[in-house]
Chains A and B, each alone.
Chain A
Amino acid sequence: DAGVIQSPRHEVTEMGQEVTLRCKPISGHNSLFWYRQTMMRGLELLIYFNNNVPIDDSGMPEDRFSAKMPNASFSTLKIQPSEPRDSAVYFCASTRQGASGYTFGSGTRLTVV
């Protein structure tokens, strides 16, 4: 298995632009998580899905952030409009609910200038 795949690895964008981050979970995993990591706040859970359904989005900072999981093999995290304070590393993780540990992707390093 190729693991959890995230794209792009790096993204530099101007303030106000729309940013879309992508994630492909491990085949057979039915739970998917989006995390954000910053020096100040560490790893924060933004949202997670079970069987493609959003379960808890209480960590999404504000309405500028949205996430979708149209099928079991793909999820997106969108920021519109982006702001400099959104600069962070965004990680996607997946697991088979009730049966395994969590596997993380390599992350997307987002810089908003």
Chain B
Amino acid sequence: KQEVTQIPAALSVPEGENLVLNCSFTDSAIYNLQWFRQDPGKGLTSLLLIQSSQREQTSGRLNASLDKSSGRSTLYIAASQPGDSATYLCAVVNTDKLIFGTGTRLQVFP
């Protein structure tokens, strides 16, 4: 059974810092991996999608990497801003099903 873990569970940093959020999964036979953002009381917004054949994806200040063999993905946020405050969720696709991690709650203060 696929299990997805995210570390840290919560993170509070001053504005401007570069951040690394970690995601690990137990079954490396994934189809792809997707990072989402969720603001309080809101839905999920897709940030980055990494296909299993890819090593990384970039969008603006966000960069996500994937190492299938070690069962790990990292989300790198450069020059963090207060508007980045949200919960970040990692999810992997196994046999058509999207399985979520527990999330990292990020707070960026001015």
Contacts and interface: CB of A to CB of B under 8 A. Distances in A.
B42 A103 contact: no
Nearest to B47: A101
Contacts, number: 43
Contact of B49 (A42, A43, A101): A101
Interface residues of B, number: 19
Nearest to A98: B31
B98 A103 contact: no
Nearest to B46: A101
Nearest to A42: B102
Bin chain A's interface residue count. 20 to 34
Interface stretch (A15-23, A64-72, A104-112): A104-112
A104 B96 contact: no
Contacts of B31: 98
B63 interface: no
